[in-house]
Amino acid sequence: MNFALVSLSIPLFTGLLLLMIPRYGGPWVVLSSTLSLAAAVASLVEVVDSGNQAVLLGGWPELLAIRLHLEPINALLLAFTALIQLLVSLYWSRNCRNDGFWALASLLHATLAALWLSGDLFNWYVTLELLSLVSVSMVALAGKDSIKPALNYLFLSLLASLCYLLGVAIIYGRYGVLDFQILSRMTVGDTSTAMAMLLMTLGLMVKGALWPLHLWLPPAHSRAPTAVSALLSALVVKGPLFILTLLWTRMAPMELTDKGGEFLAVMGVFALLVGGWCSFRTPLLKEMVAYSTVAQLGYVMLALGLMLQWQLRETLVALWLFVLAHGLAKTSMFLAAGEMQRIFGNKRVTALRGASQTAPVAMFAFAVAGGSLIGLPPSGGFLAKWLLLEPLFYDLQRWPLAFAVLLSTLVSAAYVFRIVTLAFDRAERGQAPSRDRVSEWLALLPALLVWGMALVSEPLILWLTRVAQ
Amino acid sequence: MTDTLLFYLLVASFLWAAGLHGLIVARHVLRRVIAVNIMTAGVFLALVTLAARAPEPDPVLHALVLTGLVISVSATALALHLGTAAFSTEKPEPTTR
What tens digit of pLDDT does each residue of A11-37 get? 999 989 988 887 788 888 889 999 999
B4: closest CA of chain A, how far (Å): 16
B27 touches chain A (CB under 8 A): no
Write down the pLDDT at residue B97: 43
A311 — alpha (psi -120 to 50), left (phi > 0) or beta? left
Tell me how far apart the alpha carbons of residues A186 and B16 are, in angstroms, rounded to a whole number: 28
- For residue A133, the model assigns a pLDDT of 93
Q: Is residue A193 within 8 Å of A174, Cβ to Cβ? A: yes
- For residues A6, A11, A17, A21, the Cα torsion angle rounded to the nearest 10 degrees is 150
Contact A144 B94 (CB under 8 A): yes
Q: List the single residue in B with minimal CA-CA distance to A158.
A: B36
Nearest-CA distance A257 → chain B (Å) = 26
The DSSP annotation for A201-258 comes to: HHHHHHHTT-TTS-TTHHHHHHHS-HHHHHHIIIIITHHHHHHHHHIIIIIS-HHHHH
Model confidence band, residue A432 (pLDDT cutoffs 50, 70, 90): low
**Does the pLDDT at position A464 exceed 90?**
no
Q: How far apart are CA A116 and CA A119, in angstroms?
A: 8
- CB burial of residue A376 (10 Å; 0-12, 13-18, 19+): middle
| CA angle at A407 for the pair A403 and A408, rounded to the nearest 5° | 120
Q: What is the pLDDT of residues B62-89, one digit of tens each?
A: 889 999 999 999 999 999 998 888 877 5
Checking if the pLDDT of A338 tops 60, the result is yes
Residue B90 pLDDT: 52
Closest-approach residue (CA) in chain B for A339? B97
A122 interaction partners in chain B (CB closer than 8 Å): 64, 67
- Mean pLDDT of the region A117-132: 91
3-state secondary structure of A55: strand
pLDDT at residue A80 in the model: 92
Q: How near does any CA of chain A get to the CA of B55, in Å? A: 15
Mean pLDDT in residue range A267-280: 90
Question: Which residues of chain A lie closer than 8 angstroms to B71, CB-CB?
Answer: 126, 129
Taken in order A238, A33, A134, A183, is the CA torsion positive or negative?
A: positive
Size of interface A-B (CB pairs under 8 A): 94
Q: How far is A461 from chain B (nearest CA, A)?
A: 40
Q: Tens of pLDDT along A35-50?
A: 999 999 998 888 888 8
Worst-scoring range by mean pLDDT, A94-103, A130-139, A402-411, B70-79? A94-103
Give Cβ neighbours of residue B4 (< 8 Å, ≥ 6 apart). none
- C-alpha to C-alpha distance for A210 and A267, rounded to whole angstroms: 8
Is the pLDDT at A422 greater than 50, yes or no? yes
Of residues B43, B61, B91, nearest to A144 (C-beta) = B91
Q: What are the b/e assignments for A118-139, b being 16+ CB within 10 Å?
A: bbbbbbbbbbbbbbbbbbbbbb
The alpha carbon of residue A41 is apart from the nearest alpha carbon of chain B, in Å, by 32
B55 has a chain A CB within 8 A of its CB: no
Write down the pLDDT at residue B94.
53
Nearest CA in chain B to A346: B97
B88–chain A Cβ distance below 8 A for any pair: no
Give the residue from A91, A147, A163, A286 with the most B CB atoms within 10 Å of its CB, the best one to mutate.
A147
Mutation choice for B interface testing from A151, A178, A231 by most B CBs within 10 A = A151
Q: Please give the single-letter amino acid code of residue A82.
A: A
Hey, is the C-beta of B80 within 8 angstroms of any chain A C-beta?
no
Whether the CB of B86 is below 8 Å from some CB of chain A: the reply is yes
The half-sphere exposure of A333 on its side-chain side, counting CA atoms within 13 A, is 33
Helices A121-139 and A191-207: angle between axes, nearest 10 degrees: 20
Residue B18 has pLDDT above 90, yes or no: yes
Exposed/middle/buried for residue A110 (C-beta within 10 Å: 0-12, 13-18, 19+): buried
What percent of chain A is modeled with pLDDT above 90? 23
Which of A103-112, A388-397, A413-422, B3-12 has the lowest average pLDDT? A388-397
Residue with more model confidence, A132 or A224: A132
ipTM: 0.89
Position A214 scores a pLDDT of: 82
Cβ atoms A43, A78 nearer than 8 A: yes
pTM of the complete model: 0.91
Query: Inter-chain contact B92–A143, Cβ cutoff 8 Å?
Result: yes
Query: What confidence category does residue A315 fall into, taking pLDDT thresholds of 50, 70 and 90?
Result: confident
Q: How far is B75 from chain A (nearest CA, A)?
A: 7
pLDDT mean across residues, chain B: 86
Residue B19 touches partner A, C-beta closer than 8 Å:
yes
Which of A378, A413, A139 minimizes the C-alpha distance to A292? A413
B96 and A101 within 8 Å at the Cβ level: the answer is yes
Taking contacts as CB-CB distances below 8 angstroms, the residues of chain B near A286 are none
Average pLDDT over residues A131-146: 88
| Residues A234-248, mean pLDDT to the nearest whole number | 91
- pLDDT surpassing 80 at residue A58: no
Our CA-based measurement puts residue B77 at a distance from the nearest CA of chain A, in whole angstroms, of 11
Across A409-422, average pLDDT = 89
The answer to whether the CB atoms of A142 and B94 lie below 8 A apart is: yes
Nearest to A150 by CA among B37, B93, B82, B75: B82
* pLDDT, mean of residues A168-192: 86
Q: Which of A110, A117, A88 is nearest to A36 (CA)?
A: A110
Please return the burial class of A164, using the count of CB atoms within 10 Å of its CB with bins 0-12, 13-18 and 19+.
buried
CATH node for B3-87: 1.10.287.3510
User: Which chain B residues are Cβ-neighbours of A144 within 8 angstroms?
Assistant: 85, 91-92, 94
**Are B46 and A169 inside 8 Å of each other by CB?**
yes
At B92 the pLDDT is 52
Partner B contacted by A150 (CB < 8 A): yes
Cβ of A133 within 8 Å of Cβ of B19? The answer is no
Whole-number Å distance between alpha carbons of A43 and A38: 9
Mutate to test the interface with B, among A101, A166, A226 (most CBs of B within 10 A): A166
